[in-house]
Each structure stands twice: as structure tokens, then as C-alpha cells.
Amino acid sequence: MLDDFFVRALIAGLGVALVTGPLGCFVIWRRLSFFGDTLAHAALLGVTISLVVNMNISLAVFIVSSVVALILLRLKKTTNLTGDALLGLLAHSSLALGLVVLGFLSFIRFDIMGLLFGDILSVTKIDLIVIWVGGLAIILILKLIWKPLFASTVNYDLAAAEGMNPEKADIIFTILMAAIIAISIKMVGLLLITGMLIVPAAMARNLSNGPLQMVFFSIIGGLLSVLIGLFTSLKINSPSGPSIISVALILFILSLIVTKKNYKIFK
């Protein structure tokens, strides 16, 4: 069964959606969408490095994205530049570096479109292992740091004052963001990863009253987007990443109608 590329893509996609659901909620709550973009831009540098030293793409992307994320945390403390200026600086300089290195690799045939928009054909069995083992690890760690991370999202000072150690939780969360980008890059492509994080979570917000409820709906929305998106992509031969995000967008629009009627699924 796993020899069928479509089954592999489906399993991979569902694994990714399971993780982007909860992480996407935090991205929205903490206003980190541009941060996700920055890590995705940096991912290109990771991909080129993986080509140069012949390393697993996800691992290389994870390392580069983590380093960029940690540099960002450091710069935030040591410079007076605003957060979005720092993000732009890191996003575009790492993208530029990645493209320069890629330019030197003319001897390697590489599908840049697949990298940007995702390619279901390219998902291998090893990718499946990376996605599911990595994904479950991310969910487990997120569950462990949930309380301090959520407290620090609501109010950093309050969390710090009451012994929640929010700084540690924030750093771990940053690493988890790098990890989800690393494992989902093949499926969704680096231009659309942030969309996979944000669109289902935004849809979920329209349906929820509480934080856990929003996480639940965000996961459901992600899973549905992957399922419908991939089948559509197979039927009409559209690129996989954009198809998934388009379905997520449709779900979001439907959720707006629900909100407009001021009807919450659970009162």
C-alpha cells in the first residue's frame, strides 16, 4: 500500500496537519505569522546545504531554521530594531544566501517548483518516518510545555511572576516551529507552510470559545484540507500544496458564515 505515491502523500499530509493544527493556533495567538514566513525563507538555505553535503533535507532545514530562530531571539534582546524589521532582515538575507549557493549548484538537477509549492510525488518512505516520528515528538513536547507556553501567550509578566518559566517555554516553542517547517516542507512547499499553519487555525477561531476547542477545530480543519486538497490535486492534476491551502481557505470562508450567524458549535 505504501508503494502507492498517493497513499504516501495522504499519510504524510495527515501527519503534517495533525501538528500544524495546534502550532498554528499559537502562531495566531502570538502574532507569529511573519515569523513562520521567515523560517520558511531560511529553509531554502537549509535545502541547498542539504544538497551540498548530501544530508536529509528535513534535518538540514531543521538545523538552519533553528539557528535563524535563535539568532532572532538573540537580536531581539541586543538591538533596538523592531521585531518585524529583524524578521525581514533574517528572512531575506537567508533567502538570498540560499539562492546564491543554489546558483553554484548548476550541476545538480533540482525541482525548484516542487520546493516552493510542495510535491506529492516526491514523498518517500523515509519522509513518512520523518513526518510521523518528528510530528509525534513535536506534539508530545508541545503538550509538556502547554501550560507555561499558554500562560506566557496570555500575559508574559503574569506567567513569569507566578513561576511558569515562560522564557524557557518560548525558546522551546521557537524550536518546534523550526521543526514543523522542516518536516512539512516537502508536502506543502516553503511558500505555503505559513498558510498551512494559519488558515485552519483562523477558521477554528471562528468556531470556538475556548483555547482547547480552537486547537481541536484547527486540527480537524487541517486534516480535511489535506484529504480534500490531495484528492482534488490527483483529479485535476493541480500542485499539492496550493490545493491543500485552497481547500483550507474555502473552509475558512464557510466558518465566516457560521460566525456571521453568531452560532457557536458548542455554547
* Positions in the binding site for other proteins (CB under 8 A): 28-29, 31, 147, 150-151, 153-155, 157-164, 205, 208-211, 213-214
Question: Whole-number minimum distance, CB 166 to other proteins, in Å?
Answer: 10
- Residue placing its CB nearer to other proteins in the complex, 107 or 266: 266
- Residue placing its CB nearer to other proteins in the complex, 164 or 196: 164
Per DSSP, the three-state class of 263 is: coil
- Residue placing its CB nearer to other proteins in the complex, 54 or 80: 80
CA distance 255 to 244: 17
Question: Whole-number minimum distance, CB 194 to other proteins, in Å?
Answer: 15
Residues with Cβ < 8 Å from 74, sequence gap 6 or more? Answer: none
CA distance 108 to 207: 47
Question: Whole-number minimum distance, CB 21 to other proteins, in Å?
Answer: 15
- Residue placing its CB nearer to other proteins in the complex, 58 or 208: 208
Closest CA to 13 of 223, 204, 232: 223
Answer yes or no: are the C-beta atoms of 242 and 225 closer than 8 Å. no
Question: Whole-number minimum distance, CB 184 to other proteins, in Å?
Answer: 22
Residues with Cβ < 8 Å from 217, sequence gap 6 or more? Answer: 200, 203, 204, 207, 208, 265
